[in-house]
């Protein structure tokens, strides 16, 4: 198989890419790279009513941000372009005509009103109207009209569609790489429209023609396309083409595990369902997720390596990925787990690669930060980040390193600020003020010796000192904080607390 692997991600630009679509793109990419194959991006924009401006650029930008670049597609022309279906319009008509000519399809002239009337009529009798072998002989199409009449109507510009003609009494045996064998009774299927009155193919025809012409070897797509599989396989048969192999990926389920994950779930529970922001919906990028984290958690949505390993770099994913280990059942979406992945990758990043966005976060809170060179910000972030899953969170937690606390946590004051505390801190201040070397190690040694000499306990000194420096009882190693803010600021914070706390 190796070098002949060609897969495609074929989104319709009808809006932002849902996280499920991104997962489909990722699995295609991983499969292609694993087998030394080609990953194609094809834009399926034949449905002009559903076209949304900006959606195509959004898709491209999202794939770029995530680091899953396509090898062939618009802007990266290969031998099989163009890669936008709207630019391939002329190609499809001849294939629709070929199917009609071979007896696999027919022209249908039924108006939308007439079809509606049939539907209503069937409903009234407790039945469902299906345009297929049941009633195609009674409707207005090239199976019932004389050839001259068909031609007359076409020449007169009457609206028509081309419908697929399902053979009667055929049971199809389909194969899916994830689901195994599937049997379908073709008598239950409707004669799908392949070509529309507006001169455009439907998704089904364009998709099959392009997959064939683009020499796609494996179709990897979401489970929602499984109902179309029978038609697609039958279309290959009708054309006399070798079909690709198919793999339908499992649905992504709500955090409760019940039902498909929707945009509303994200809004209700406060997590993104889009890779990038779209109108008022915040994307993963804007919410502060790192692309490495998104890639990793998406990979685990429906696939597992068969071991306990959860953390994978992109290279490791390519190495380990296998369609055989993609599950059939839906994959539960877990927002907390996604944060966990982000926490991990935030720790992995080189500090120098985070300093610019960190500075931006800091400036949004404190204004100009020119006083702090990059290495100072890196040091601050290095002290804080293990407590944070996001850079913005790290920034909130780091503010006390850049300005004195504006208030002191009430509960902490009640617990730690005793009658004797001001006098003790005063004495400690005097000790610190006399210290030449204000490095973390030096102050730590000095303060510890002083505590021992004064017959005090750690608990009587350290928590109140933390409170006056941080404003709360959390944060990194206390002596690292003092070294970072410096002697003068440490002493200022001590005197300010003594002056203002009761």
Binding site residues, ligand GLU, CB under 6 A: 10-12, 44, 203, 207, 221, 225
Task: Specify the DSSP element, H or E, that contains 19.
Answer: helix 19-34
Q: How far is the CB of 240 from ligand GLU (least distance, A)?
A: 21
Give the residue with the Cβ less far from ligand GLU, 210 or 265.
210
Q: How far is the CB of 206 from ligand GLU (least distance, A)?
A: 9
Question: Is residue 136 a contact partner of residue 143, using CB atoms and an 8 Å limit?
Answer: yes
Place of tokens 């299927």: 189
Q: Which among 455, 456, 477 has a CA at the least distance from the CA of 466? A: 477
Q: How far is the CB of 10 from ligand GLU (least distance, A)?
A: 4
Give the residue with the Cβ less far from ligand GLU, 12 or 38.
12
Three-state DSSP at 351 gives helix
Give the residue with the Cβ less far from ligand GLU, 142 or 217.
217
Give the residue with the Cβ less far from ligand GLU, 22 or 391.
22
Question: Is residue 368 a contact partner of residue 403, using CB atoms and an 8 Å limit?
Answer: no
Three-class DSSP labels, 101-154: HCCCEEEECCCHHHHHHHHHHHHHCCCCCCCCCCCHHHCCECCCCCHHHHHHHH
Choosing from 34, 89, 260, 263, the catalytic residue is 263
Q: How far is the CB of 59 from ligand GLU (least distance, A)?
A: 10
Give the residue with the Cβ less far from ligand GLU, 202 or 338.
202
Q: How far is the CB of 493 from ligand GLU (least distance, A)?
A: 58
Q: Is 139 exposed, middle or buried (0-12, 13-18, 19+ CB in 10 A)?
A: middle
> What is the distance between the alpha carbons of residues 391 and 349, in angstroms, rounded to a whole number?
11
Q: How far is the CB of 413 from ligand GLU (least distance, A)?
A: 57
Residue 102 bears catalytic tag: no
Instruction: Encode burial over 448-480: b for 16+ CB neighbours within 10 A, e otherwise.
Output: eebbeeeebeeebbbbbbbbbbbbbbebbebbb
Give the residue with the Cβ less far from ligand GLU, 261 or 413.
261
Q: Which among 412, 415, 403 has a CA at the least distance from the CA of 484? A: 403
Task: Specify the DSSP element, H or E, that contains 252.
Answer: strand 252-253
| Residues catalogued as catalytic | 263
């Amino acid at each position: 198989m190796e070098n002949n692997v060609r897969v495609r991600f074929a989104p319709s630009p009808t809006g932002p890419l849902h996280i499920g679509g991104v997962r489909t793109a990722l699995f295609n990419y991983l499969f292609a790279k694993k087998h030394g194959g080609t990953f194609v991006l094809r834009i399926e924009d034949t449905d002009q009513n559903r076209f949304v401006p900006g959606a195509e650029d959004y898709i491209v930008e999202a794939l770029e941000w995530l680091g899953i670049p396509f090898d062939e597609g618009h802007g990266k022309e290969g031998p099989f372009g163009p890669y936008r279906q709207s630019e391939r319009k002329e190609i499809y008509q001849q294939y629709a005509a070929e199917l009609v000519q071979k007896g696999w399809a027919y022209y249908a002239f039924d108006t939308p009103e007439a079809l509606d009337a049939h539907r209503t009529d069937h409903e009234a009798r407790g039945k469902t109207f299906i345009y297929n072998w049941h009633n195609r002989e009674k409707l207005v199409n090239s199976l019932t009209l004389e050839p001259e009449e068909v031609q007359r109507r076409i020449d007169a510009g009457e609206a028509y569609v081309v419908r697929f003609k399902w053979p009667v009494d055929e049971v199809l045996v389909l194969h899916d790489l994830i689901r195994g064998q599937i049997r379908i009774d073709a008598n239950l299927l409707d004669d799908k429209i392949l070509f529309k009155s507006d001169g455009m193919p439907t998704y089904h025809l364009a998709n099959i023609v392009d997959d064939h012409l683009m020499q796609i070897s494996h179709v990897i797509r979401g489970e929602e396309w499984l109902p179309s599989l029978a038609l697609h396989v039958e279309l290959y048969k009708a054309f006399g083409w070798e079909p690709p192999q198919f793999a339908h990926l499992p649905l992504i389920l709500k955090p409760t595990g019940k039902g498909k994950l929707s945009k509303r779930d994200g809004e209700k529970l406060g997590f993104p369902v889009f890779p990038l922001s779209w109108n008022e919906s915040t994307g993963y990028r804007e919410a502060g997720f790192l692309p490495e984290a998104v890639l990793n958690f998406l990979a685990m949505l429906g696939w597992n390596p068969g071991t306990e390993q959860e953390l994978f770099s992109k290279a490791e994913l390519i190495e380990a990925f296998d369609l055989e280990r993609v599950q059939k059942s839906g994959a539960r979406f877990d927002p907390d787990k996604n944060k966990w992945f982000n926490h991990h990758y935030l720790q992995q990043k080189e500090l120098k690669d985070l300093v610019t966005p960190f500075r931006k976060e800091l400036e949004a809170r404190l204004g100009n930060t020119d006083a702090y060179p990059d290495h100072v910000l890196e040091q601050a972030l290095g002290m804080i980040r293990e407590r944070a899953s996001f850079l913005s969170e790290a920034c909130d937690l780091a503010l006390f390193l850049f300005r004195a606390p504006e208030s002191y946590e009430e509960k902490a004051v009640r617990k730690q600020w005793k009658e004797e505390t001001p006098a003790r801190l005063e004495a400690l201040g005097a000790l610190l003020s006399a210290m030449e070397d204000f490095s973390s190690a030096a102050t730590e040694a000095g303060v510890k010796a002083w505590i021992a000499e004064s017959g005090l306990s750690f608990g009587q000194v350290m928590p109140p000192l933390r409170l006056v420096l941080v404003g709360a009882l959390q944060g990194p190693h206390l002596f690292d904080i003092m070294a970072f803010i410096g002697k003068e600021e440490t002493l200022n914070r001590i005197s300010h607390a003594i002056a203002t706390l009761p």
